[in-house]
Amino acid sequence: MVVDLKDEIRYRGYEPNPKIIIPNENLLSIYELIKDFDMNEVEYKRESLRSILVKAKEFFDKYYELHKVPFEIFKKVGPFDFSYDCEISPFWLPIKRVDEDAYYGMLRELIVCGEETRTVFTGIELPKIITEASTLSYVHEITHSQDNHIYGSIRNYYNTELLSVFNELLCAGSMDDGGKLSHLADVLRLSDLKYGIKFLQDGLGKEDEKYNELAEASCYVESTLKAYNMYMDYYSGDKMTRQYIILMIQKVFDGEITLEQCLEALDITYPNSLSPKKLTKFLKR
């Protein structure tokens, strides 16, 4: 069943009816700052599936302890449907290659409604042509498998992309490649942010008729800005600050605290993530 955004928000336990973001002066200054980033102008270097899986696994092993995830497999045998349910390492989720752009990734999941609502995963989709960008997409989707199935671990729908984007930046920054993957991550994320801000600006006054699309854009805009804010603190932080940020994220993965409690501990808010000055300095790194 394909669910409407409002139903999805309810099933997953997010706070209902998030308000569409209206771009303010700071958000528009950030738009000006990033308007030359364009993901369509990038030449993507081909890579093997194996090499991007190894890089992503090494990244997670270095920073986190990941938990197993609920997995469901469906099989049709003659007229009968069989399904089998178990818990597996997120790296064992089957990978399906689909005809999509180089930066595409998708965690396939099912929301099962019963006595209690739960999420099960069925696999991860990556593009047929694997490139250097696929490491980031795979890290992004594996992160979703860690923060997105414990009911109530994220309260605000607009934070749902935050840790996935943060881990893309952290993974790219941890590569010993002279900053190449970090630059690619910036191009992908900041051009996506640019399109999101533009979409919100164009949608002014259409909040009712285009609610779902504008809420989705608001989610990407807010999550990306907060993820950058958090990563900029990590990047410029000392060893203790860095360890503390990773520890707080691990607690969210473990279901010990909500993502919002993690953000409070790290002092990450939407207003304080709207600093053109901080971003300008970071982009010169």
Which residues contact Zn ion (rule: CB under 5 A)?
161, 164
Cβ-based nearer residue to Zn ion, 229 or 275: 229
Nearer to Zn ion, 171 or 275 (CB): 171
The least CB distance from residue 9 to Zn ion, in Å, is 15
- Following CA atoms 58, 63, 68, 71 in sequence, which dihedral angle do they give, to the nearest 10 degrees? -60
Write down the least CB distance from residue 161 to Zn ion, Å: 5
Provide the minimum distance between the beta carbon of 147 and Zn ion in the complex, in angstroms, as a whole number. 10
Q: Which residue's CB is nearer to Zn ion, number 119 or number 275? A: 119
- Provide the 8-state DSSP code for 270: T
Choice between 146 and 164, CB closer to Zn ion: 164
Range list of H helices, 64-161: 133-147
CB-nearer residue toward Zn ion: 107 or 184: 107
Nearest approach, Cβ of residue 144 and Zn ion (Å): 6
Please say whether the beta carbons of 22 and 206 come within 8 A: no
Task: Tell me the two tokens of residue 78.
Answer: 């003659």
CA distance 135 to 174: 12
Toward Zn ion, which CB reaches closer, 105 or 203? 105
Residue type at 261?
Answer: Q
In angstroms, the Cα distances linking 235 to 192, 245, 282 are 21, 11, 9
CB 154, min distance to Zn ion, A: 12
Determine the 3-state secondary structure of 269 from DSSP: coil
SS3 125: strand
32 within 8 A of 201, measured Cβ to Cβ: no
Q: Tell the smallest beta-carbon distance from residue 205 to Zn ion (Å).
A: 28
